Amino acid sequence: MDTLLRTTSFGLSNGRRVGDYQLAKAISPFYRLQTSAISCWVITELDVTSSRTTAGHDTLGPGSALYLYDDMLGRYSDGFEQNILLGTIERVEWREAGYQVYRFKIHLYSRTAEPFPILAEKTYIAVPHSYIPVTTLLPFNNYVTLGQEWDNDGVIYPPRRSWDRVPRPGELGWVYPNYVMKQAWKSGVRKECIREWLVAEQRKLQDKKRD
């Protein structure tokens, strides 16, 4: 992975190795019950104890180097979709209920178990207020653009995913939509399968933009 990071980041990683990025579980922009207004990763938990990180910080801000991974999607896709995003936090953009949103400079982005880099320059990440120094929080507002929810006690929960929806009577539970590609990958058709699937996904995104 270090070689892949070095060759695909075009120098943006500044000599960092994968182990130099702070690990964090996150919700990638895919398979959400509510469509977000922007493509944004939502951090759910910092992994400050893992031996894979040397950062050891429990607060984030501009300059923080992060390794985001969507662990729940990996589980529900039976290992086929292993969304990872490595990069650094840039400037803060806005604050909303439970989160502060930052622009994020991408060093390495891959969506599959066998890392296959996708060229992308920037995205957004939403960081829970608990991981941000109080002095750097923007003034509070009640924006809700990420799909977050809260209960009667005001506790805020991250965006729900497609598999979180309770099926109606007689309905089946959530079924991974890319089953054919997943099975091809599991049977050993790896790079060819991944490339074909990524091309199809990119076409879907382009069609949505045209709509």
User: Would you give per-residue pLDDT tens digits along the chain (211 residues)?
Assistant: 878 788 777 777 878 888 999 999 999 998 888 876 678 999 999 986 654 444 445 789 999 999 999 999 999 998 888 899 999 999 999 999 899 999 999 999 988 877 778 877 889 999 999 999 999 999 987 778 888 888 888 889 999 999 998 888 877 788 888 887 788 777 776 666 677 777 776 666 555 444 4
Helix segments in 39-83, DSSP class H: 71-76
| Cβ-based neighbours of 8, under 8 Å, separated by 6 or more | 107, 108, 117, 119
| Cβ-based neighbours of 15, under 8 Å, separated by 6 or more | none
C-beta atoms surrounding 133 within 10 Å: 9
User: Dihedrals φ, ψ of 33, to 5°?
Assistant: -70, -40
Amino acid 53: pLDDT: 45
Phi-psi region of 14 (alpha: psi -120 to 50; beta: other; left: phi over 0): left
| Cβ-based neighbours of 85, under 8 Å, separated by 6 or more | 26, 28, 41, 66, 67, 68, 69, 104, 106, 108, 109, 123
> Any idea what DSSP says for residue 119?
-
Amino acid 50: pLDDT: 54
Asked whether the beta carbons of 6 and 135 are under 8 A apart, the reply is no
* pLDDT tens sequence across 20-69: 999 999 999 988 888 766 789 999 999 866 544 444 457 899 999 999 99
How many Cα atoms within 13 Å fall on the side-chain side of residue 182? 15
For the chain, give the number of residues: 211
| Cβ-based neighbours of 160, under 8 Å, separated by 6 or more | 32, 33, 34, 147, 149
> Any idea what DSSP says for residue 139?
P
Helix (H) or strand (E) holding 46, with range, is strand 40-46
Q: Which amino acid is at 40?
A: C
Asked whether the beta carbons of 115 and 1 are under 8 A apart, the reply is yes
